[in-house]
Structure 1
Amino acid sequence: MAVHVVSRRRGAVGIAKAHPGAVVVDVTSKGPLPWVRLSPFFPHGGIPLPLSPGMTGESVEGIWQALKVFDAADVDLGKLRVTSMGGLKRTVRRFGAVRGHRAGVEGGELLAYEVARRRIYLPAYRWVLENRVGAELDELRALDGRQDVVLLDYTTNGDVADLSSPLSHAALVRRWLEDDWPEEVMVPAG
């Protein structure tokens, strides 16, 4: 059996035609419980903030957005405490061009996009996979053993080095299930 990553924007009819008989699982922030727990927006709490010993965030997306630096705005530690799954995004429209991600709350270094993915996003999301969603991953493995599984996400990019589109957390879940986790720069848990 296989796990596929498909855009949530694709219609149900198209998904069913492309993947007949597959179990469709929406792992976005709009998905149902328990699958929404795989969303990087889900507020698991206690997620170690990479490169910032002793600090934690509520969600992976909150961590990612908190450390983003723009022309007109530095880090925003308030994003670390957001538990509503909304109000997390920080945009270029509001703050100007993205300069990079700060290498930790106290860090002076700004990380380029791919490096930030490997040093911030991947370690934070991996921690969630290892510590908060074991039951959901076990259920996906059991489903995958019986039939194809389609994971819905807004993007489908599973290549950390492909900077042309956002990284898909559903693709990361698939890679986790297939023991094909992308290379990351490991940092000690805070």
Structure 2
Amino acid sequence: MIIVESKRKKIENILKKHPNAIIADVTSQAKDGLVRLSPFYPHGGIPVPFSEGYTATCVEGIWQGLKVFENEDIDTSMFRNNTMKGIKRTVRKHGCVLGHRKGVYGTEILGYMEAKHQIYIPTYRWMLEHKAMDIIERLRKASETKTIVLLDYNTCCDVDDEAKPLSHAYLVKAYAEGLYPFDDLRLSNGIDNKEDLPTQLSLFD
């Protein structure tokens, strides 16, 4: 079983709710290899959607870089940020968000929900599949017999919620368990066959 909880909660309170659970911090503040699941982690070489020839160091760099504000257009320098800091672009500095440009050279401005489905979710999925599948496989195996609690600052697990930021920890859970928006994943990838899963892997290696 995989559960998403707020990183702001006290660990002792989480363990009271989920006794004997494995606590897995998947934020940019993680102190082990699970930091690689953070959208801020600079894997490098992540394709920018609808932008042939462009890659970025991290998922968040793409999401922030393609934002369009009333006082500023996209910022491709975000694609190169490998520090895990200074990636957020705020309304306080740039004015109201108009949407996300559909690619560096695109003319279409996507609304929040469209951008979430066409930019953020596919980009995060690409990162999981190409940069973090070893962690996903360990997570799948461990969750067969243990309760895994993924810590995230955002805990919204509704992909279609227009009011709250989507939890990337939920996307980890969704990918590992074949849930929406990755509900066709288990069959298409054949991962329902437990023989395909590693048998001796530690989640924290």
Q: Distance in 2 between matches of 1:135 and 1:46?
A: 18
TM-score normalised to structure 1 length: 0.93
CA separation in 2, counterparts of 1:138 and 1:33? 17
Q: CA deviation at 1:148?
A: 0.3
Q: What's 1:124 paired with?
A: 123
Structure whose CA Rg is larger: 2
Aligned to 2:72: 73
Structure 1 distance, partners of 2:46, 2:99, is 21
Give the alignment of 1:105-184 within 5 angstroms. Answer: 105-182=104-181
Corresponding residue number in structure 1 for 2:190: none
Query: In structure 2, what residue type is equivalent to 1:104?
Result: G
2: CA distance between counterparts of 1:116 and 1:158? 17
Quote how far apart the aligned CAs of 1:158 are.
Answer: 2.0
Q: Percent identity?
A: 48
**Residue type at the aligned position of 1:47:** I
DSSP-derived class of the 2:113 partner: helix
Matched, 1:30 2:29: yes
Q: Which residue of 1 aligns with 2:193?
A: none
Structure 1 unaligned regions, length at least 5: 184-190
Specify the alignment match of 2:86 in structure 1: 87
Which residue in 2 is equivalent to 1:11? 10
Alpha-carbon deviation of 1:53? 1.5
Corresponding residue of 1:187: none
CA RMSD of aligned residues (A): 0.9
Q: Secondary structure of the equivalent of 1:78?
A: helix
The CA deviation string for residues 83-102 of structure 1, in whole angstroms up to 9 with x for no partner, is 01001000001111000000
Q: 1:130 offset after TM fit, Å?
A: 0.7
How far the C-alpha of 1:142 sits from its partner, in A, is 2.1
C-alpha distance in structure 1 between counterparts of 2:158 and 2:68, whole Å: 23
Amino acid at match of 1:127: W
Report how far residue 39 of structure 1 moved: 0.4
In structure 2, distance between residues paired with 1:122 and 1:155:
15
Q: What per-residue deviation string (whole Å, max 9, x for no partner) do you get for residues 122-146 of structure 1? A: 1110101110001111111122122
Quote how far apart the aligned CAs of 1:59 are: 0.3
Report the TM-score, using the length of structure 2 for normalisation. Answer: 0.87
Residues 132-178 of structure 1: per-residue CA shift (max 9 Å, x gap): 00111111112212210000000111222101110100000000011
Structure 2 distance, partners of 1:149, 1:63, is 29
Q: Which residue in 1 is equivalent to 2:97?
A: 98
- Give me the whole-angstrom Cα distance separating, in 1, the residues matched to 2:123 and 2:37: 12
| Secondary structure of residue in 2 paired with 1:146 | coil
Q: CA separation in 2, counterparts of 1:175 and 1:57?
A: 24
List 4+ stretches of structure 1 deviating above 3 A. none
